[in-house]
Amino acid sequence: MKHIIQNFQPMAGKHSITSSIRQVLAYQGAHLSEAMLFGLASAYHFSYFEYKSILSPFINGRVQPRAFEESLARHARLDIQFHKTQSNQKAWRKVKENIDQDIPVVVYVDKGALTYLRMPPGQHFGGHAVVVFGYDEQEGIVFLSDRDRDGFSITVSADEIPHDFHLVPFFELEEARASRFKPLPPENAWLTIGIGESFEAPRRNQIFAAIRENMYNYLNPPLAKMGLEGIHYFSKVLYSWQEWGADKLREAALSAFTMIDQIGGTGGGIFRKLYGEFLLESASYAAAPALGAIGEQYLILGEQWDEVARLFYMLYQGEQPMILVDIVERIKQIYKYEEGLSNQLVKVIGAVYD
């Protein structure tokens, strides 16, 4: 049996989950930008964790999967259902059932298992989202839309094969969905998304509620390695990187570069540029010019993070470990800048609610 959803249009994007959700919404006739989806998900964050099972520290600039979808559904008033299962067979059956009803499905995958990305051996990341919009059982393939397109790569691999959409073998998608590798194993997770009859463009109260929730969580994290204080922690722990062996240091530097730079799916500046775009767009939606002014500053903040990413890439290419001193100083400055911008947003939102 073969079924491809007609009129589904694969679209490239900046971040995997926002790009995936944007494509599904567009298919249903609802058009929201990736920046708006990111902001309404209260997704702006930071975290730094080291795992014994992986060589490189995990640096992240957004909230975790599921928390993202739950916040987005609440603030954007979308029907987003998050599912997962331990059964590979059930995971595919549910996707197939939706495809047969002309419903494209967002699935989480381990990037390291997708051949077209040509990831280096041993590299894994299961927080990557793609859209499945068709299958051909006779050929044993699924039709999959990632955030790449012809001529637009989404990894640092020179061997990557970017396309508007990909034909992926059943077994490869199954492996990518069932991967147990950290960080963020995908756990056969998938999303079903509906807009409902009452969907409309975001209003002022929705936008302000999302920002308020985001800033509260960012400034009051449950752990010192998360949120604003996580950046401070990051600046301190970086000194210890100088004690690592050359191989571990290079791997960590490349990982840090990827998790900050736009090539890794952050929209640039470890998601700070994407959040700045959200605030600029929100200034119009919410008739709140103050948000636009702060949004411009977040774009500048993103440039500062991108400069840190560039230094990490230099470290990966063989620059002396002492470059870490420069990186530390820049992150200390970023911490202060982020603190100031967060407090500005809190004041703007507080003026509305008080």
Q: Write the CA distances from 303 to 234, 238, 307, integer angstroms.
A: 18, 20, 6
165-193 as b/e, with b when 16 or more CB fall inside 10 Å?
bbebeeebbbbbbbbebebbbbbbbbbbb
Percent of the chain scoring above 70 in pLDDT: 99
Rounded CA separation 316/339 (Å): 29
Rounded CA separation 242/323 (Å): 9
**What is the reported pLDDT for 149?**
87
pLDDT digits (tens, 9 = 90+) for 231-265: 999 999 999 999 999 999 999 999 999 999 999 99
pLDDT digits (tens, 9 = 90+) for 51-78: 887 888 999 999 999 999 999 999 999 9
Band (304; pLDDT cuts 50, 70, 90): very high
Rounded CA separation 168/146 (Å): 11
Percent of the chain scoring above 90 in pLDDT: 85
> Does 198 score more than 80 pLDDT?
no
Q: Which long-range contacts does 7-11 make (Cβ < 8 Å, 24+ apart)?
A: 8/104, 8/131, 8/133, 8/134, 8/145, 10/131, 10/133, 10/145, 10/149, 10/164, 10/165, 11/145, 11/149
Calculate mean pLDDT across residues 267-283.
97
Residue 111 backbone phi and psi in degrees, to 5:
-55, -30
The pTM assigned to this predicted structure is: 0.95
pLDDT digits (tens, 9 = 90+) for 208-235: 999 999 999 999 999 999 999 999 999 9
Please say whether the beta carbons of 214 and 133 come within 8 A. no
**What is the reported pLDDT for 353?**
58
**What is the reported pLDDT for 160?**
82
Calculate mean pLDDT across residues 319-339.
94
> Does 85 score more than 90 pLDDT?
yes
Rounded CA separation 276/273 (Å): 5
pLDDT digits (tens, 9 = 90+) for 123-140: 889 999 999 999 999 999
Q: What are the residues facing 49 on neighbouring strands?
A: 58
**What is the reported pLDDT for 352?**
63
**What is the reported pLDDT for 8?**
97
Rounded CA separation 167/188 (Å): 19
Calculate mean pLDDT across residues 111-117.
93
Q: Record the tokens describing residue 22, joined without a space.
A: 């944007």
- Going from N- to C-terminal start, the domains of the chain cover 2-31+79-194, 204-353
Band (120; pLDDT cuts 50, 70, 90): confident
Band (354; pLDDT cuts 50, 70, 90): low
